[in-house]
Amino acid sequence: MLRWAEVYLNRLLSNYRVIKKLSGKKKIFAVVKANAYGHGSVPVAKFLEENTDVHGFAVATYEEGAELREAGIKREILVMASMLPEGIHLLKDYSLTPVVYDFEELSLIRELSLPFHVKVDTGMGRLGFLERDWDRLLSELYNLPVAGVMSHFSSADSDEEFTRYQFLKFKEFVEKLKKFKPDVAVHVDNSAAIPKKFDSLLTHCRVGLALYGSKPYRGYEAELLQVMEVKAKVISVKELPPDFPISYSKTYRTKNKEKVAVIAFGYADGLLRSLSNRGSVLINGKRCPIRGRICMDMTVVSVEGVPVKKGDTAVVSGKEITFDEIAELAGTIPYEVMCDISPRVKRIYRYEEV
> Facing residues of 229 across strands?
6
- Per-residue burial over 188-218, b = 16 or more CB atoms within 10 Å of its CB, e = otherwise: bbbbbbbbeebeeebbbbbbbbbbbbbbbee
d(CA 295, CA 251): 12
Handedness of CA 46, 51, 53, 54 (dihedral sign): negative
Is 212 annotated in the active site?
Answer: no
296 is in an annotated binding site: yes
The answer to whether 126 is annotated as binding is yes
- Tell how far CA 268 is from the center of its chain: 19
Q: What distance in Å separates the CA atoms of residue 327 and residue 352, rounded to the nearest whole number?
A: 27
CB 101 within 8 A of CB 128: yes
Known catalytic membership, residue 101: no
Pairing outcome for strands 228-240 and 3-8: antiparallel
Measured CA to CA, the distance from residue 40 to residue 62 in angstroms comes to 17
Rounded distance between C-alpha atoms, residue 115 and residue 109, angstroms: 8
Q: How many CB atoms are closer than 10 A to CB 293?
A: 19
Start-to-end Cα distance in the chain: 27
Please identify which of the residues 248, 250, 257, 319 carries the catalytic annotation: 248
Catalytic residue among 8, 16, 26, 33: 33
Bind-site residues for substrate: 126, 296
**Any idea which residues carry the catalytic annotation?**
33, 248
Bind-site residues: 126, 296
